[in-house]
Amino acid sequence: MASLKRLKCKCKWTIDPLVKGKTKEDLFKIIDAAIFLPYQFLSSIEFLDNFEKIICYNDDFQTDAVTVLTKPKFLDTTLPHGKCSVYLIGSNHISIKSQNDIERTIKSVDPNVIMLELCIKRTDILSDYITEERFKQPQKQKGTFVSTIYSAIKNARKTDGRDFWAAYRVANKNCPIVLGDRIGDINRQRLASVITFTEVFRYVTLYLKWIYNGGLNQEKIDDRLLEKLQQDCPRMWKVWVKERDVYMTFVLQTLVKELIGKEKNNLDNRSAWRIVAVVGMGHVKGICENWNSTVVLPPDLMEMPPSSIQAEILKVLSWIEIQKMGKKETWILSTSSVFENFRNFSSWFEIERTRFVGVLFGNQLRIDVCLFLSDNHLKQHFFEFVTNSLASDLIFAGIVVVNGHEPDTDISYMGTGLEIRTTLETLQSSDSTFFLKSYPNIIDQWTQPSGVTLVSNVMFETVLRRGLEENDIKMATEKFAAAAAELIYHHKESDIVLQANTKHPKFLDDILKDKHTDQDRLRLTSYRRVSAQDEGNGDDQKHVPILKVQAGDIAFRRLRMPLWITAAAYGGDGSNEIYLRIEEAIRRRIYNVMYVMMKGFRKTYDISEVDCRCFLPANHSRILSIVMPRLADKEQQEWRIEMHKIFNLPSRVPCLRSLQAIDFSARAHFLRTPHLSIKNYKKTGRITTVKGMYDYYHYTQQGIDDNGWGCAYRSLQTIWSWYVLNGFFDRPIPLHREIQEALVRIEGEELRGKKFIGSKQWIGSFEIGYILSDAISVDCSYIAQFTDISEKARELQIHFESVGSPVMIGGNMLAHTILGVDFDENTGECRFLVLDPHYTGIDDVNTVINKGWCAWKMPSFWKTGIDQGGQPILYNIVKPQLPTNII
Amino acid sequence: MIIFDARLESTLDKAVKAHCDLEKKSGVLASPHFLIGTFAEGFDIHIAHITKCPLPATATATGGDAASKTVDDQWLVESAEKVIRMLPGGIDLVGILWLSNKNIFIEQRPRLIKALSRIAKYSTALTTMKLFSYIENMVLVNVEIPLGKPQAVVVDVVNRSPESPTKVVFNKLEWVSIVSRAGGRISDHIANLKTENFYNDFVDLLKPWAQRILDCNLILVDGKVRETNEYLNKDPKNKKSSFELVLLTESEGSDDSTTTLQQESTTNWHDFVFDIEIRAAVPVKSKVEFAVLATKQHIIRNMCSRAVLHYESMEVTEDRGTGGSQIIHQMPRPATTTLPYHSSILFSDFLFEADTIEDGQKNMKELLEIEASIEHVDDGWERALEVGEMEQVRAPGVVPDHLPLIISLQEKQSRFWFYVMIIVSVLVLLISIILYQVIKK
């Protein structure tokens, strides 16, 4: 085999094949194996000494900035066969040279993964809306010491991050970008906890001297400077450079392991996996040194030390810096969500006559919810109710002013909030380009960061004395809200505890990885401290225990209310951050409880029960927690209609019925809405799917062995569950016998025959339609007697858009449930999301998805041609419609 | 096995000598002592301290028959009750040491076993509110006068099975301190109020809360979740002498529970507010589970001891709150001192408002034979309510609920005004200086 004899420079490899008499093709393979770069990517190859020596060149690597690392040696034993090259690019973050190096390397290598020296909190540079203009090369100035330094820093700040931006811009859109640096907050706080004033002074001196000598304009950092920094500022070096070297090496090694560990058939026709890593120049040496040894992250590496004076000073300084730089913020907003909410809003109101405004709620620079509210709903107390119903990390972030109508309200929002000015026509036409025309700092996309929804149950218990209910409920809620900071949450599986003011906050990235806040939930158990935390007045003498006994007739009511609390946890969040979010969720929930109770009290002069339920309507990406009074049916419906209006929910589809509330309990139920777990599906056109939840019914469930005959029954059960779970009615799902009895009742005994009930006879699309119409008054429309489903894709698309119920397709002795369509109007290409009732296994979502029981299928999934009887195979589809009076 | 702390070897010798002197001088036939220590994990009993049971006046008086020269089981139990109230969580009255000749011991043995059973019963009631039983065996040690060696039997106080002899050894023992706090507000009515027995009512009020504490398995030791079967001191080389423990109660309803608003009525309402410091003690090699139990027991024992003392101090005719009246009960305050050579073990006497620290010092000497100087008795943990505070407590309109009292609004408000006053004073000072400078010019 070949051996890599000498790595002369980064662009030149000399290989000694060791075996004489090889053909050129063999030699190319040897090159591949030796340098881990496909030979097609080499600009020239020289064969010397009668093929005994090969010299390979790649002009794109004619730079010292790129270091090629091969598979770490320690992996030779565990993963002997895989190959992987890491192209480590040392960048100075600001120069055009670095940018060019990165662009050429990425284009040349076409990596499978790119790793950037960024963390989740520093991703604003990765934006499609940032142009080259932003990094306009600064003019070199040489003046006085102060002016030179000032202009150098100013220019450097302006162009900082162009390397990452370049990598993001030129990367293949399918190439994952890994944020490989430790969280910035940890870096800063760890630095602040160890650094001394002497080191700060030495560093500042060194830094200013370096800048004055044009260091920022140099393409490479002088090794002597790094050595000096290491000597003069050892603590800073350790935290800022060494620890991050270890961290980034760990990330890279993990990537290598994961890539090599993948199945071989996942590897494309190239011979090795390729990773491009863009890191600061100062990190290259450290990463190279660590590369061939197994890097294990020390447990304290991710710990955030307690806040110190230095840390606070550092925070203030960075804040001042940001203010001075006038940093332009880039917001993320989903215009399709804005337009859908507007459509729903306008379905409730006479839009031309209503004064309204769009209210934006978000988290940092991401807008998650845009609610259109009429002026009536913009009163302070009502607005608080709306905010308190939203996820606890969402705050009032800005407004959408329509036709210049400024909100007539006393609500103030922060000056840094987002303000979008638009017209009614733009909203009505759903024209996203026009909507964002004047806002280049807004990215139209919906990228939910990885994370989970944390769920906990907290019991609110109090007694309300007769005649003092109003006062008691107010005080009890105030106290409950105050006591929220005393709660402790425990996640049993990972043994993680969340409590207030943790001195060493942990990052929960391991358990948040590859999870999504709208789908994945983590159940926390809530606990209350038996004693209050010391408030720092521990020296105060306590008074002895006091028992007050009141005698006499006392009438009261005991209120017990379990509150389901939800809060989002994102990747990169520390435990303190998450805790504060849960605390805020409790406050929001309890204040809304008080608000609704008091509202009822003022009407009836009596306290009545309320229920706090969580919903995830189709047009909301975040959980809505709605407090609902327990009222008579009609009044309850009025309340739901009011809530539909406020939260921009559709006027024709129920979203807030009690059956639609999210069930957080550990009760076992059928596999719910499994298609949401399908990942990595590449769409061909526009996707429309079923709206809302459904349960997956399939063969052999409920103790019924219906294998071979019950598929249509199961499909009907799935459709029925959709109506139940989406709040249209609450009749129990019928079993096979009940379905047969209903059919006999509808069609008559003569038609079905006496032995039909209890038999294993099939039913078809039309029978399903009859039962739905008869039992729950759901009208159905049909697509009858067709042979090729691809011709019906558009019709189904319209159904999923307007109705959103699952449909059943029957034919060729089979029945399936269709949950969605992916249809390209231009090419006519289509796929169908199929839920297969023929499945007989356990209700495990991974099995169901991976084995294709719930999957996107080509039209050829349904056979065309002639059946066994010589007749063409015909299919029928039943499309259940929406009932009326449904909210 | 009964393990006496090594230092107790000399204490035992002194006790034997003292008894011989007393026998000669007053004809006292037997000297009972209480053994104070820990029912350690496994079947071992660790003894940290020996204290003499006070003798009735008849025993030391001249004359009298043989019966008057010894103590009966009733006397023993009553004396033991007083001692048990002073013990921290994790430390119990684990048995009786009896110094007498062989005949007297054989004669008294059934009485002593009976007394031990009653002591165990009392200890369980005081320490767990009878929510669970934790004492299965106690120990009866006899030293035959004058030169006998300690002979011990384990007494099964639950099943009353025959006593089994056990080995007695002297070893160096160590205890560690478990530091915690318990505070809160329990507001509720008592369904079956027994106005004639304050203590029973108090126990009824506290029982549901105590049960919730006992039911909760999650605790934080030094801010971290620890497995209950781990050793407290993980690193045997780097032993810690104190651990901070946070007790929790589950705050959840069941998954299926829904909102309920239940109409109720009562003739009494109890509002109990407390915030107590906890210093339990457990053997150095204890597991987390044991430390947790000791802490929970400390809370209950502490509350119940105060309640029983308060009840005993109440006038029989005192109005217990009928016909719309309101009674404020102030519990006695603790006065503490540590066991010499074992500073982790902190005993508490409970003093009433009029009692002084000297009373505490006296009680420590009488009941525990601890000769603590006045500087070593600490009664500063808590204080009685001042007149103004009492008026506040008496004021109607306190919201009854089950929530812990976090920090009184009053306190926060007063602190707020305190800071406002400081800022105003500084501003006034600055203005005065400026004005002075202006006028001077």
**Number of compact structural domains in chain B:** 3
B322 with B432, same domain?
no
Asked whether residue B235 falls in the same domain as residue B116, the answer is: no
Q: Is residue B399 part of a domain?
A: no
Q: What is residue A53's predicted lDDT score, i.e. its pLDDT?
A: 56
Segments of A269-394 assigned E as strands: 273-280, 331-333, 356-363, 366-374
d(CA B219, CA B22): 50
B371 within some domain: yes
* Facing residue for A546 by CB, picked from B182, B268, B330: B330
Place of tokens 């105003």: B424
How far is A304 from chain B, CA to nearest CA, in Å?
Answer: 16
**Domain end: B171, B194, B215, which one?**
B171
Nearest CA in chain A to B389: A543
CB B39 within 8 A of CB B94: yes
Same domain as B195, residue B297: yes
* Residue B295 falls inside a structural domain: yes
Instruction: State the pLDDT at residue A878.
Output: 93
Q: How far is the C-alpha of A627 from the C-alpha of A598, rounded, in Å?
A: 12
Structure tokens at B57: 């006046």
Q: Which helix (H) or strand (E) holds A170?
A: helix A162-170
> Rounded to an integer, what distance in angstroms lies between the CA atom of residue A331 and that of residue A265?
40
Amino acid at A709: W
Residue A23 CA to residue B292 CA, distance in Å, equals 76
User: Which tokens sit at A555?
Assistant: 């009438």
Tell me: do B77 and B96 sit in the same domain. Answer: yes
- Are B309 and B431 in a shared domain? no
Region of A536 please: left (phi>0), alpha (psi -120 to 50) or beta.
left
Given a contact cutoff of 8 angstroms between Cβ atoms, the answer to whether B93 and B284 are in contact is no
Residues in chain A within 8 Å Cβ distance of B297: none
Instruction: Return the bridge partners of A558, or none.
Output: A463, B262
Phi, psi at residue B432, to the nearest 5°? Answer: -60, -45
d(C-alpha A548, C-alpha A179), whole Å: 60
Tokens of A825: 């109007």
Q: Are residues B319 and B385 in the same domain?
A: yes
Question: Of A230, A274, A229, whose CA–CA distance to A252 is shortest?
Answer: A274
Interchain contact, B270 vs A547, CB within 8 Å: yes
Q: Which CATH code, of 3.40.50.300, 2.40.50.100, 3.40.50.2000, 3.90.70.130, is assigned to A674-880?
A: 3.90.70.130
Residue B72 has what DSSP assignment?
-
- Are the C-beta atoms of residues B32 and B100 closer than 8 Å to each other? no
Domain assignment present for residue B260? The answer is: no
Rg (CA), chain A: 32
Residue from A614, A711, A780, A830 carrying the catalytic annotation: A711
Specify the amino acid at residue A779. D
Q: How far is CA A400 from CA A359, A404, A430, A617, B101, in A?
A: 6, 10, 14, 22, 97
Peptide bond into A732 cis (omega under 30): no
Calculate the alpha carbon distances from A529 to A150, A184, A499, B299 in Å: 53, 33, 10, 14
The domain of B28 spans 2-171
Determine the 3-state secondary structure of A182 from DSSP. coil
For residues B166 and B152, the answer to whether their CB atoms sit within 8 Å is: yes
Q: Residues 6 or more apart from B234 whose CB is under 8 A from it?
A: none
Residue at B315 is within a domain: yes
d(CA A134, CA A620): 35
CA nearest B214 in A: which residue? A530
Question: Which whole-number Å values give the CA distances from A385 to A281, A381, A397, A587, A725, in the listed order?
Answer: 51, 6, 16, 12, 26
Nearest to residue B295, comparing CAs of B309, B308, B282?
B282
* Same domain, yes or no: B166 and B229: no
Contacts B258 to A, Cβ<8 Å: 562, 611
What lies within 8 Å, CB to CB, of B437 at 6+ separation is none
- Give the end of a domain, one of B155, B171, B187: B171
CA closest to B278 among chain A residues: A531
The ranges of chain A annotated as CATH 3.90.70.130 are: 674-880
Consecutive 10-residue runs of chain A (887 residues): their mean pLDDT?
33 49 59 51 56 54 69 72 81 79 81 83 64 58 59 66 82 76 79 79 78 65 74 85 88 82 51 83 87 78 64 56 51 88 92 88 84 84 90 88 75 60 90 84 73 89 85 88 88 83 69 66 89 55 88 87 89 82 93 90 84 87 90 87 93 84 74 88 90 90 88 94 83 88 84 81 89 86 89 93 92 90 91 94 89 93 82 90 76
At B280, the amino acid letter reads: A
- Predicted pLDDT of residue B52: 93
Is the same domain home to B51 and B161? yes
Whether residues B246 and B368 fall in one domain:
yes
Instruction: Report how far residue B219's alpha carbon sits from residue A527's, in angstroms, rounded to the nearest whole number.
Output: 10
Q: Is B251 on the interface with A (CB under 8 A)?
A: yes
- CATH code of the domain containing B46: 3.40.140
Q: Mean per-residue pLDDT for B198-227?
A: 90
List, in order, residues 6 or more apart from A264 with CB less than 8 Å away.
none
Between the two ends of chain A, the Cα-to-Cα distance in Å is 73
Residue ranges in A659-735 assigned as alpha helix (H): 711-725
- Give the gap in angstroms from C-alpha A574 to the nearest C-alpha of chain B: 16
Nearest to A116 by CA among A280, A330, A260: A280
Please choose, from the candidates A592, A843, A512, the residue with its C-alpha nearest in 3D space to the C-alpha of residue A701. Answer: A843
Gyration radius of chain B over CA positions: 26
In a 10 Å sphere around its CB, with 0-12 CB exposed, 13-18 middle and 19+ buried, how is residue B112 labelled?
Answer: buried
Are residues B102 and B39 both part of a single domain?
yes
B275 and B181 in a common domain: yes
Burial class (CB in 10 A: 0-12, 13-18, 19+), A462: buried
Residue A392: its pLDDT value, please?
92
pLDDT value, residue A822? 94
The strand pairing partners of A460, in sequence order, are: A561
Residue pair A329/A313 in contact (Cβ under 8 Å)? The answer is no
Listed range (A17-26, A801-810, B165-174, B403-412) with the worst mean pLDDT: B403-412
Statement: residue B347 has pLDDT above 50? yes
Given the DSSP bridges, would you call strands A395-402 and A356-363 parallel, antiparallel or unpaired? antiparallel
| B179 contact A CB<8A | no
Q: Which residues pair with A450 in a beta bridge?
A: A516
ipTM for the complex?
0.85
Q: Which residues of A touch B323 (CB under 8 A)?
A: 551-552
pLDDT value at residue B410: 33
Backbone angles phi, psi at B257, to 5 degrees: -65, 145
> How far is CA A73 from its chain centroid?
36
Q: Give the range among A86-100, B92-106, B294-308 with minimum mean pLDDT.
A: A86-100
In this structure, the answer to whether residues B224 and B109 fall within a common structural domain is no
Phi, psi of A856 (to 5 degrees): -80, 130
CA distance A856 to A679: 11
Pairwise CA distance, residues A473 & B142, whole Å: 63
CA distance A838 to A842: 12
A 479-538 residues with CB below 8 A of B? 479-480, 482-483, 485-488, 490, 495, 497, 499, 502-503, 525-532, 534-535
With b meaning 16 or more CB within 10 Å and e meaning fewer, what string describes A228-238?
Answer: ebeebbeebbe
Give the residue from B171, B195, B230 where a domain finishes. B171
Q: Is residue B423 part of a domain?
A: yes
Residues of B in contact with A551 (CB under 8 A): 267-268, 321-327
Domain-embedded: residue B403: no
What is the number of other CB atoms lying within 10 angstroms of the CB of residue A493?
8
Residue pair A631/A599 in contact (Cβ under 8 Å)? The answer is: no
